[in-house]
């Protein structure tokens, strides 16, 4: 093997990234990847082509359908793979959409980090299918089961270097499936950080009792991650989303009013973590605290993707809902900033203490 060894975020195999290997470009007309040999190209033409091209993963285990990674995936620092874990309808997709949108509004600028798409096609699809719909006040549909690929792959550049960051957002139903061979949860084997998403309850939604004594998606993911080598050292965050429902409930209200933070302050993150812990404990959602017990570094945050509850569209089908006052994401980047601090993308004495006991 002469190439750089990288772990594929989709099939979780370790692959050797050979220099000069053929790349593929997306053929829009025929909706398929087309292989292009690059060795005969002048270096500048090759670099330009590779920026927009893909490489098929060799998937040495032969256990995953054909999949492609950005051709420049291995040209940067150690890739980050961030997985979202949570029950169906807990709010994963809305949170990820609000996060990615905020990243592109320079939301990480205060931390010296800029972002660019690494997988342009995936990025455009994510923007068209999620971000635009969300910005128009529409609710996003539940994620289909069987999703195996990353929702988006960005390149984050900061003072400590540039790293590809893949975000995985699969269906909560798949995350509650104990079948280890479920293809949709394979990303867990290659994940480098996890956002555990707990949706805070709608206080008016009393008709449907929720069994808070268990959180199946958290439980199954934690057990699988702990079985990985060094699994307990994976950076983890617990995001209590839909916290707009807690905007008059102390101490969540105090955190929500702060808006987005501009610094990494380990003591402040510890204080918020303590408040989230107390809140989950108080509402009997102790099962959602399992990641905090399982992982050596874990930060907890109150966030809101939409800023308010979705309401049925007037006179329409009651199942069709929207956010009548638009969307006002609050603190959606705090979980990501904690992960970036715990993974060394944000460096410094404060960052090193984030999530530490
Ligand atoms: N009040 C409030 N409601 C939210 C928020 N985020 C999501 N919701 C509501 O929660 C519902 C489910 O959100 P999703 O993001 O689709 O949840 P999910 O975890 O991706 O669900 P699956 O894809 O089925 O696993 C949405 O239809 C919204 O109505 C939020 O920040 N505040
Ligand atoms: Mg979803
Ligand atoms: Zn692969």
| Average pLDDT for 139-162 | 95
Pairing of strands 14-17, 23-27: unpaired
Query: Which of 91, 216, 249, 301, when mutated, tests ligand 1's pocket best, judged by the most ligand atoms within 8 Å of its CB?
Result: 91
Residue nearest to atom 6 of ligand 1 (CA): 91
* Tens digits of residue pLDDT in 318-352: 778 888 877 899 999 999 999 999 999 999 999 99
Pairing of strands 311-312, 68-70: unpaired
**How distant is the alpha carbon of residue 186 from its chain centre?**
15
Q: Which residues contact 71 (CB under 8 A, 6 or more apart)?
A: 23, 50, 51, 53, 54, 55
Query: Which of 94, 137, 142, 196, when mutated, tests ligand 1's pocket best, judged by the most ligand atoms within 8 Å of its CB?
Result: 94
Spatial separation of the C-alpha atoms in residues 354 and 261, rounded to whole Å: 14
Q: Quick one: pLDDT at residue 211?
A: 52
The closest ligand to the CA of 90 turns out to be: 1
Spatial separation of the C-alpha atoms in residues 279 and 238, rounded to whole Å: 12
Strand partners, 67: none
**Mean of the per-residue pLDDT values for the chain?**
92
Residue nearest to atom 5 of ligand 1 (CA): 242
All structural domains of the chain, each given as residue ranges with its CATH number in brackets, are 4-74 (no CATH), 80-353 (3.40.50.300)
Q: Quick one: pLDDT at residue 258?
A: 96
| Average pLDDT for 269-298 | 96
Spatial separation of the C-alpha atoms in residues 239 and 246, rounded to whole Å: 14
Q: What are phi and psi of 298, to 5 degrees?
A: -150, 130
Query: Which residues' Cβ are closer than 6 Å to ligand 1?
Result: 86, 88-94, 139-140, 142-143, 171-172, 241-242, 244-245, 304-306, 308-310
Structure tokens at 118: 């690494």
Kindly write down the DSSP assignment for every residue of 284-337, as one continuous string: T-GGGGHHHHHSSSEEEEE-BSSSS--EEPTTS-TT-EE-TT----BSTTHHHH
Which is the closest atom of ligand 1 to the Cα of 321? Answer: 29
Is the model more confident about 20 or about 70? 70
Cα 161 to ligand 2 centroid, rounded to whole Å: 31
Residue 87: which of 213, 218, 188 has the closest Cα?
218
Contacts within 8 Å (CB) and 24+ apart, 222-231: 222/290, 222/291, 222/294, 222/295, 224/180, 224/185, 224/188, 224/189, 225/188, 225/191, 225/194, 225/294, 225/295, 226/294, 228/189
Q: Which residues contact 318 (CB under 8 A, 6 or more apart)?
A: 312
Residue nearest to atom 16 of ligand 1 (CA): 142
The closest ligand to the CA of 325 turns out to be: 1
Predicted confidence (pLDDT) at residue 213 exceeds the cutoff of 90: no
pTM of the complete model? 0.95
Spatial separation of the C-alpha atoms in residues 293 and 137, rounded to whole Å: 37
What pLDDT band is residue 155 in, cutting at 50, 70 and 90? very high
Q: Quick one: pLDDT at residue 206?
A: 45
Which is the closest atom of ligand 1 to the Cα of 173? Answer: 25
Q: Quick one: pLDDT at residue 321?
A: 85
Half-sphere exposure of 59 (CA within 13 A, CB side): 14
DSSP structure class, residue 201: P
b/e map of 98-111 (b: 16 or more CB within 10 Å)?
Answer: bbbbbbbeebbeeb
Look at 1-5, 211-215, 218-222, 251-255 and tell me which has the smallest mean pLDDT. Answer: 211-215
Query: Which of 142, 174, 322, when mutated, tests ligand 1's pocket best, judged by the most ligand atoms within 8 Å of its CB?
Result: 142
The closest ligand to the CA of 59 turns out to be: 3
Q: Quick one: pLDDT at residue 202?
A: 67
């Amino acid at each position: 093997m002469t190439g750089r060894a990288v772990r594929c975020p989709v099939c979780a195999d370790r692959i050797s990234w050979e220099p000069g290997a053929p790349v593929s470009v997306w053929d829009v007309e025929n909706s398929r990847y087309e292989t292009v040999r690059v060795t005969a190209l002048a270096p500048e033409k090759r670099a330009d082509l590779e920026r927009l091209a893909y490489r098929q993963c060799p998937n040495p285990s032969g256990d995953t359908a054909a999949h492609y990674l950005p051709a420049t995936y291995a040209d940067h620092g150690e890739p980050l793979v961030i997985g979202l874990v949570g029950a169906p309808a807990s709010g994963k997709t809305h949170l990820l959409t609000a996060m990615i949108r905020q990243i592109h509004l320079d939301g990480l600028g205060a931390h010296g980090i800029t972002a660019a798409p690494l997988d342009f096609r995936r990025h455009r699809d994510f923007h068209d299918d999620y971000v635009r719909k969300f910005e128009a006040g529409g609710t996003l549909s539940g994620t289909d089961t069987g999703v195996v690929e990353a929702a988006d792959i960005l390149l984050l550049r900061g003072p400590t270097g540039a790293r590809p960051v893949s975000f995985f957002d699969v269906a909560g139903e798949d995350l509650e499936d104990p079948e280890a061979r479920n293809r949709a949860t394979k990303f867990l084997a290659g994940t480098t950080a996890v956002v555990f998403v707990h949706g805070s309850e709608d206080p008016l939604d009393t008709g449907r009792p929720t069994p808070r004594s268990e959180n199946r998606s958290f439980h199954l993911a934690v057990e699988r991650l702990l079985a990985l080598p060094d699994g307990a050292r994976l950076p983890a965050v617990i995001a209590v989303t839909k916290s707009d429902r807690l905007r008059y409930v102390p101490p969540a209200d105090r955190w929500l009013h702060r808006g987005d933070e501009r610094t990494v302050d380990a003591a402040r993150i510890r204080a918020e973590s303590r408040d989230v812990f107390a809140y989950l404990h108080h509402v009997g959602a102790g099962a959602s605290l399992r990641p905090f017990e399982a992982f050596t570094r874990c930060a907890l945050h109150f966030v809101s993707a939409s800023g308010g509850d979705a309401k049925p569209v007037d006179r329409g089908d009651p199942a069709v809902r929207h956010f009548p006052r638009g969307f006002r994401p609050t603190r959606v980047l705090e979980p990501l900033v904690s992960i970036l601090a715990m993974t060394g993308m944000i460096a410094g004495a404060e960052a090193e203490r984030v999530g530490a006991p």
